[in-house]
């Protein structure tokens, strides 16, 4: 493979971290590419000019940087929040949501540079390689994707650190603290190092956004979040854009120890992986959004939308953002959000976030129907006819099939279990049992 692409331009998705910094030099030194880096700021890049300088210092001939925070929130984060997308019911998909946008920026940069090749720094056992490859394939099937970490570089993290030092590339990772971290507005993902043992508790230095719940303020804090058609619009009465609202909520909830996730998840490539996440705003907003939906959506929509949420989360996690399946699911989700407007109060207390209030002008909750006190407008006698009709299939089956009648296995099973309970009375003789014996 040595110098096989001499003179060709390759646009590299560049984070400024260890893997992509080493990849810049390796693509030049080993394959002969002229490397252009492409960086999209999704909320954690920081000083874009510093990223440019680092890319150039690593060997890039050009470094493209873009502030993509607003686009990320509006077109990726909010739709996933409306869908209720939590992978395996816990992970709010921060990294997974960022990858399709970064892939789009990568393709745009390749077109602008007339490049036939793009590259990323994903490993061969992670999910991100799939997300980048599929997104590029959907947006620009004519481009060739190169993944140095998947073949060719073949370096351990310690070897990468040594390589970076030999080439004068500044990196934050050390052999003593070799965490792999990905960050954006919506969350922070941490893996590798001592975290690879799922029995060991995460060290304190893993967490940057959240305080230890035991060290959180003793006095709880409440916030009020307003949603407009499923999109967060205000925080404590202040109207904020999406970026500012997420940042504020990350800070407030994080100070109270809210937002930590420690899970073993199933990666797309077939392995289980121990992951640590920090996502204060994401977890709070998901919780608040579902609380508001409980007021305004019907039982049938809530039940079916939960299935859609699971499918949506799998789709995002598996890198299928740019698919017709996603477009179809997104259309349904948008329809469900027409009346999801209102306010939710959330209380933070030493690591716990609890919904303590919700209200909406489109609420289907009616006090006059729900109350057991004065003003009860529910027709109690109407329940008799309802129960008669609702229970008709059950009574019909009972008469014709006798699933619970004397002599049935289901009926005989109850006394056996009851006998094992302390102090249980011994049942009398059962004629059906005697006959069976």
Query: Which residues are designated catalytic?
Result: 19, 99, 128, 180
- Give the H or E element holding residue 222: strand 221-228
Cβ neighbours, 10 Å, residue 49: 10
Angle, nearest 10°, between helix axes 392-401 and 382-390? 40
The pair phi, psi for residue 16, each rounded to 5°, is: 90, 0
- What's the gap between Cα 19 and its chain centre? 23
Nearest CA-CA partner of 296 in 90, 82, 28, 64: 82
Taking the C-alpha atoms of residue 320 and residue 73, their distance in angstroms, rounded to an integer, is 18
DSSP 8-state code for residue 60: -
- CA–CA distance from 332 to each of 51, 166, 319, 329, 335 (Å)? 39, 53, 20, 5, 5
Query: Can you point out the beta strands (E) in 74-179?
Result: 117-119, 144-146
Contacts of 239 (CB under 8 A, 6+ apart): 233
- Give the H or E element holding residue 211: none
């Amino acid at each position: 493979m040595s110098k096989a692409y001499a003179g060709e331009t390759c646009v590299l998705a560049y984070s400024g971290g260890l893997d992509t910094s080493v990849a810049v030099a390796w693509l030049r030194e080993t394959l002969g590419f002229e490397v252009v880096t492409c960086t999209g700021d999704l909320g954690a890049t920081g000083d874009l000019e510093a990223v440019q300088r680092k890319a150039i210092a690593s060997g890039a001939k050009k470094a493209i940087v873009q502030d993509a925070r607003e686009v990320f929130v509006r077109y990726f984060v909010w739709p996933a929040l409306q869908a209720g997308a939590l992978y395996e019911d816990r992970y709010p998909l921060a990294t997974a949501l960022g990858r399709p946008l970064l892939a789009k920026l990568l393709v745009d940069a390749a077109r602008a540079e007339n490049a036939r090749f793009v590259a990323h720094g994903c490993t061969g056992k992670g999910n991100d390689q799939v997300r980048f490859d599929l997104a590029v394939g959907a947006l620009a099937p004519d481009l060739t994707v190169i993944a140095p970490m998947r073949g060719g570089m073949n370096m351990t993290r310690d070897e990468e650190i040594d390589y970076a030092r030999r080439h004068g590339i500044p990196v934050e990772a050390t052999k003593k603290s070799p965490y792999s971290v990905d960050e954006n507005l919506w969350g922070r993902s941490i893996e590798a190092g001592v975290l690879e043992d799922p029995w060991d508790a995460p060290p304190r230095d893993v967490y940057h956004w959240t305080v230890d719940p035991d060290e959180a303020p003793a006095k709880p804090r409440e916030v009020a979040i307003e949603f407009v058609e499923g999109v967060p619009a205000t925080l404590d009465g202040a109207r904020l854009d999406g970026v500012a609202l997420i940042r504020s909520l990350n800070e407030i909830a994080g100070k109270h120890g809210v937002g930590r996730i420690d899970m073993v998840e199933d990666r797309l490539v077939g392995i289980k992986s121990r992951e640590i996440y920090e996502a204060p705003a994401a977890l709070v907003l998901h919780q608040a959004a579902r609380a508001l939906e409980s007021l305004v959506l019907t039982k049938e929509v809530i039940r079916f939308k939960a299935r859609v949420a699971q499918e949506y989360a799998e789709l995002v996690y598996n890198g299928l953002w740019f698919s017709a399946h996603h477009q179809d699911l997104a259309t349904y989700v948008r329809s469900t959000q027409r009346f999801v407007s209102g306010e939710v109060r959330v209380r933070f207390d030493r690591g716990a976030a609890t919904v303590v209030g919700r209200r909406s002008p489109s609420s289907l909750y009616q006090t006059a129907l729900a109350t057991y006190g004065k003003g009860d407008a529910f027709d109690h006698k109407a329940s008799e006819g309802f129960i008669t009709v609702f229970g008709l299939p059950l009574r019909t089956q009972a008469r014709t099939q006798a699933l619970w009648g004397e002599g049935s296995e289901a009926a005989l099973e109850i006394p056996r279990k009851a006998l094992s309970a302390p102090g249980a009375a011994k049942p009398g003789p059962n004629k059906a049992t005697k006959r069976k014996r």
